[in-house]
Amino acid sequence: MADFALVADVLWLALVSIRSLSGLPSSLIRRRRPFQDTGCGPDYCRHMPAQMIPYTQERLDPEEQWRRATAFHEKMERRRSVRFFSNDSVPRELVELAIQTASTAPSGAHRQPWTFVVTGDPEVKRQIRVAAEEEERVNYEGGRIPDHWREALEPLGTDSNKQYLETVPWIVVLFEQRYGLDSDGEKVHHFYVKESCGIAAGIFIAALHHAGLATLTHTPSPMKFLTRLLGRPGNERPFCMFPIGYPSDDCVVPDLRRKDLDEVMVEVRA
């Protein structure tokens, strides 16, 4: 396929050159489809002409639209970051499905620059807890985080104790791929990596919540220890960690207020 693309590129360039020299009609040139990444295999850095397929989306009547939109909003309003978990088990397949859902996220040039690393292994979870607590002790008790950051965290009641990292049945660490590697081991450029991973993380959180699971968006900074503990390659960097399970019976969350619509939305008119 890659060879075909190369030949097509060469022919097209030859045609363009001939046209500019001989005055061939430009419609002949324009008929060629734009090149697009296929993003569908190990050689996803190669290029081939775009393959377009029909796309339809169910058209809802306005009443149904409102019903669904309101139900989704109410559901998402109930999502909270949980820091007190039960050790009840969660089927691995539910976590896998949430990862598949997250991986539907749009991404720069469809590179999908993410790896979701999953562990339910008690020893790995213990090692993650020990390393995370070490970093967080330096943050909270060693003065690594500045005062304004510490003040912002105070209402949340967080500290360096990360017991939940051992309690939860699953931990998922989302790694951003700073660049990809093709089947020849050549570097592949990734675009908008942080934006893409942020969107995938958001969809992941929503998918877990939709499945009746709880999680915490956790960034025990710096997170380099996760690369070492989870044996990830040099092109990957920890983006976010998600302990996943059910809230404990005595779970509490900070009494936070979310911004109203007029605080987060601005309409512009000409």
Query: What is the nearest approach in angstroms of ligand FMN to the Cβ of residue 93?
Result: 25
Instruction: Give the residues lining the site for ligand FMN (CB under 6 A).
Output: 80-81, 83, 156, 158, 216-220, 253, 256
Q: Which is nearer to ligand FMN, 83 or 129 (CB)?
A: 83
Q: Fill in the amino acid letter for 87.
A: N
Rg (CA), the chain: 24
Q: Which is nearer to ligand FMN, 1 or 152 (CB)?
A: 152
Q: Which residues contact 53 (CB under 8 A, 6 or more apart)?
A: none
Helices and strands of the chain, counted as H and E runs: 10, 8
**Secondary structure (3-state) at 216:** coil
Q: Which is nearer to ligand FMN, 38 or 227 (CB)?
A: 227
Query: What is the nearest approach in angstroms of ligand FMN to the Cβ of residue 81?
Result: 3
> Beta strand 236-245 with 170-177: parallel, antiparallel or unpaired?
antiparallel
Q: Which is nearer to ligand FMN, 189 or 194 (CB)?
A: 194
Helix boundaries (H) for 78-229: 92-102, 122-140, 147-153, 164-167, 193-210, 224-229
Length of the chain: 270
Query: What is the nearest approach in angstroms of ligand FMN to the Cβ of residue 28?
Result: 52
Query: What is the nearest approach in angstroms of ligand FMN to the Cβ of residue 253?
Result: 6
Query: What is the nearest approach in angstroms of ligand FMN to the Cβ of residue 48?
Result: 37
Helix boundaries (H) for 143-192: 147-153, 164-167
For residue 81, list its beta bridge partners: 215
Q: Which is nearer to ligand FMN, 13 or 152 (CB)?
A: 152
Q: Fill in the amino acid letter for 10.
A: V
Distance of CA 60 to the CA centre of its chain: 29
Q: Tokens for 155?
A: 């209402």
Query: What is the nearest approach in angstroms of ligand FMN to the Cβ of residue 162?
Result: 9
Q: Which is nearer to ligand FMN, 169 or 238 (CB)?
A: 238
